[in-house]
Amino acid sequence: MNKNIRRTALALSLAAGVFASAAQAAFPSDKPVTLVVPFAAGGPTDKVARELAQVMTKSLKQQVIVDNSPGAGGTVAAKKVLAAPKDGYTILIHHIGMSTAPSLYKNLGFDPNTDFEHLGQVADVPMVMIANKAVPAKNLTELLAYIKANSTKVSYANAGIGSASHLCGLLFMSTIQVDMTTVPYKGTAPALTDLIGGQVQLMCDQTTNIAGQLNSGAVKAYGATTMQRIPAFKDIPTMNEQGLKNFQVNVWHGVYAPKGAPAAAVEKLAAAVKEGINDAGYKAKMAELGAAVPNEKNASPAGHKAHLKAQIDLWGPIIKKAGVYAD
Ligand code: ASP
């Protein structure tokens, strides 16, 4: 190569480098970011996702759109994000199911700890055991007696294996040592419609889905899955205080980019998540739905990653003991 050609080649590669970093710095540039939601539209995960999409849109100055891809307890959506181009434009919101999937699914095909960039947790949501109004039990004690008397004739709705409603039902049935008939849905939004319609009797669901029905009395409420009463629903006793000692399911939601996404995009997305959950309107909406914004540690990427790992380690033995698996 003579000197001139070498100089031109150097200039070109420098220019390419400048363009490449300019493109990265410009994330998100000319197209929307897709936030993949692993459950049906209108449900609890979807509600958090749509609130988050709004505040992230403000922060990123680029539209964040929601894509509902339900199925297999949320694992369909996680796989969809991993199969998409790893450019930061396709990200995932998921809940506690991300930490139970490795124990529940024999052939999960991905590792939540290592295949994703953890962008931060965005909501902590309590659950409440609810029933169709025709269920005769007036309180948890009567409900337990009713379930024991009717067992598999009692129907329990969930959002598929690995969903929070599945997990809560699993814990409930193993605690009271009675099996009910479970009916899987693509999310608890359609399940709630059926529960109110009387096609299915019981469900444990996040307050983000059922706040309106709890307030209007459209469903019966039997107990909260948190150790403390839910600030927005102080009149609902906890399962724990009614005798199901230490009965606890705390649903947390986190946001993920696929591992391999450009560092600049990951940084921008994590900053948008942080800014979004500190938005006063977002916080007020979460409180109205009985949910809370996570503490600063869990809201950070490192805290999210550590919490996910701890949750995987926590749920593993519980699920193993329950002996539930899916392919
Ligand atoms: N609440 C559902 C669950 O049980 C998920 C959803 O529909 O968002 O995990």
Say which DSSP state 292 is in.
B
Contact 111, 177 (CB under 8 A): no
- Give residue 272's pLDDT: 97
Write down the H helix ranges in 204-279.
207-216, 263-277
* Nearest atom in ligand 1 to 73's CA: 9
The answer on pLDDT for 189 being more than 60 is yes
* Nearest atom in ligand 1 to 96's CA: 9
- Give residue 197's pLDDT: 98
Percent composition of the chain: helix, strand, coil (DSSP 3-state, to 5): 50, 20, 30
3-class SS string, 189-202: HHHHHHHHHCCCCE
Task: Please write the tens of the pLDDT for every residue from 214-248.
Answer: 999 999 999 999 999 999 999 999 999 999 999 99
Alpha-carbon dihedral sign for residues 219, 225, 227, 232: negative
Residue type at 296 in one-letter notation:
E
The answer on pLDDT for 1 being more than 70 is no
Task: Please write the tens of the pLDDT for every residue from 132-169.
Answer: 999 999 999 999 999 999 999 999 999 988 899 999 99
Gap from CA of 6 to ligand 1 centroid (Å): 60
Gap from CA of 52 to ligand 1 centroid (Å): 17
Gap from CA of 215 to ligand 1 centroid (Å): 20
The answer on pLDDT for 210 being more than 60 is yes
Mutate-to-test residue for ligand 1 from 36, 37, 39, highest number of ligand atoms within 8 A of CB: 39
What 3-state class would DSSP assign to 27? coil
Cα distance between residue 35 and residue 32, in whole Å: 10
Mutate-to-test residue for ligand 1 from 68, 69, 163, highest number of ligand atoms within 8 A of CB: 163
**CA dist 319 → 50, 105, 311 (Å):** 31, 11, 12
Alpha-carbon dihedral sign for residues 256, 212, 231, 277: positive
Q: Which residue has the tokens 């009567």?
A: 142
Query: What residues contact 193, with CB distance under 8 A and at least 6 apart?
Result: none
- Give residue 325's pLDDT: 73
Gap from CA of 289 to ligand 1 centroid (Å): 14
Task: Please write the tens of the pLDDT for every residue from 278-311.
Answer: 999 999 999 999 999 999 999 999 999 999 999 9
Strands 155-158 vs 181-184: parallel, antiparallel or unpaired: parallel
Contact 276, 282 (CB under 8 A): yes
Find the residues whose C-beta lies inside 6 A of ligand 1: 39-40, 43-46, 158-159, 163-165, 187-189, 205-206, 209
- Give residue 25's pLDDT: 52
Q: Which residues are registered as beta bridge partners of 251?
A: 125
- Residue 213 CA neighbour count, 13 Å, CB half: 24
* Nearest atom in ligand 1 to 209's CA: 1
Q: Which residue has the higher pLDDT, 314 or 324?
A: 314
Gap from CA of 89 to ligand 1 centroid (Å): 24
Question: Can the peptide bond before residue 32 be classed as cis, meaning omega within 30 degrees of 0?
Answer: no
Of the given ranges (6-10, 106-110, 117-121, 295-299), which has the lowest mean pLDDT?
Answer: 6-10
Gap from CA of 201 to ligand 1 centroid (Å): 17
Task: Please write the tens of the pLDDT for every residue from 72-100.
Answer: 989 999 999 999 999 999 999 999 999 99
* Nearest atom in ligand 1 to 47's CA: 8
Gap from CA of 26 to ligand 1 centroid (Å): 35
Q: Which residues are registered as beta bridge partners of 156?
A: 182, 202
Gap from CA of 202 to ligand 1 centroid (Å): 14
* Nearest atom in ligand 1 to 165's CA: 4
What domains are there in the chain, each with its CATH number? 31-124+251-322 (3.40.190.150), 127-233 (3.40.190.10)
